[in-house]
Amino acid sequence: MQSVDFTTLTAAYREICATWLPARVEQVHQRDRFWIVLGLRTLKQRGWLDISWHPQAARICIGDPPPRKPDTFAFSQQILHQLSGLALTSIEAIAPWERVLDLQFARRPGENPLFHLYVEVMGKHSNVILTAANQEIITAAQQVSPQQSSIRPVQTGQPYESPPSLTNDAPSLQESQQRWQAKVSLVPGALKRCLLKSYRGLSPALVESMVHAANLDPEQSTVTLTASDWEQLFHRWQEWLQALEKSHFQPGWTAKGYTVLGWEIIQPVKNLQDLLNQYYTAALNQQEFLQLRQQLSQKLKNLLEKLQTKANNFSDRLQQSDRADEYKQQADLLMAHLQAWEPGMKKIILADFETGEPVTIALEPEKNAVQNAQNLYKRSGKLKRARGAVEPLLAEVNAEIAYLQQVEAAIAQIDKYHTDTDLEALKEIREELIQQRYLEDSEYTRRSDTNTASTNFHRYRTPSGFELFIGRNNRQNDYLTFRFAGDYDLWFHAQEIPGSHVLLRLDPGVVPETADLQFTADFAAYYSRSRQSDQVPVIYTEPKYVYKPKGAKPGIAIYKNERILWGKPQRVEAYLNEGRRVSD
pLDDT tens, residue by residue, 287-341: 999 999 999 999 999 999 999 999 999 988 888 777 787 888 889 999 999 999 9
Cα distances from 49 to residues 15, 25, 38, 75, 285, in angstroms, run 12, 10, 5, 16, 19
**Cα distance between residue 525 and residue 422, in whole Å:** 20
Burial degree of 481 (CB within 10 A; 0-12, 13-18, 19+): buried
**Cα distance between residue 116 and residue 86, in whole Å:** 12
What's the alpha-carbon Rg for the chain, to the nearest Å? 35
Beta strands per DSSP E along 294-426: 347-351, 358-362
Beta strand 252-253 pairing with 137-140? unpaired
* pLDDT, tens digit (0-9, with 9 covering 90-100), for 246-255: 999 999 999 9
Residue ranges for the chain with pLDDT beneath 70: 441-453, 578-584
The dihedral over CA atoms of 522, 528, 532, 533, expressed in degrees to the nearest 10, equals -60
**Cα distance between residue 300 and residue 63, in whole Å:** 35
* pLDDT score, position 441: 65
* pLDDT score, position 150: 84
Q: Which residues make beta-bridge pairs with 566?
A: 537
Long-range contacts of residues 548-552, Cβ cutoff 8 Å, at least 24 apart: 548/478, 548/482
All domains in the chain, ordered by first residue: 6-140 (2.30.310.10), 177-270 (1.10.8), 458-583 (no CATH)
pTM for the model stands at: 0.78
Cα distances from 211 to residues 175, 187, 459, 569, in angstroms, run 19, 18, 45, 48
Q: What is the DSSP letter of 144?
A: B
φ/ψ of residue 260, rounded to 5: -115, 10
* pLDDT score, position 581: 56
**Cα distance between residue 212 and residue 206, in whole Å:** 10
* 3-class SS of residue 146: coil
> Quick one: three-class SS letters along 425-483?
HHHHHHHHHHHCCCCCCCCCCCCCCCCCCCCCCEEEECCCCCEEEECCCHHHHHHHHHH
Which of 120-139 are b and which e, b meaning 16 or more Cβ less than 10 Å from the residue's Cβ? bbbeeebbbbbbeeeeebbb
Nearest to 163 by CA among 87, 94, 71: 94
Nearest to 354 by CA among 329, 377, 337: 329
* 3-class SS of residue 229: helix
**Cα distance between residue 198 and residue 190, in whole Å:** 12
- Which residue type, as a one-letter code, is found at position 510? V
* 3-class SS of residue 12: helix
**Cα distance between residue 31 and residue 29, in whole Å:** 6
- Which residue type, as a one-letter code, is found at position 568? K
Query: How many whole angstroms from its chain centre is CA 298?
Result: 13
**Cα distance between residue 437 and residue 554, in whole Å:** 13
Nearest to 151 by CA among 162, 142, 140: 162
Run of H or E including 367: none
Nearest to 282 by CA among 8, 29, 63, 60: 63
* pLDDT score, position 582: 55
Q: Which residues make beta-bridge pairs with 528?
A: 499
Query: 396 CB contacts (<8 Å, ≥6 apart)?
Result: none
Nearest to 79 by CA among 24, 124, 140, 32: 140
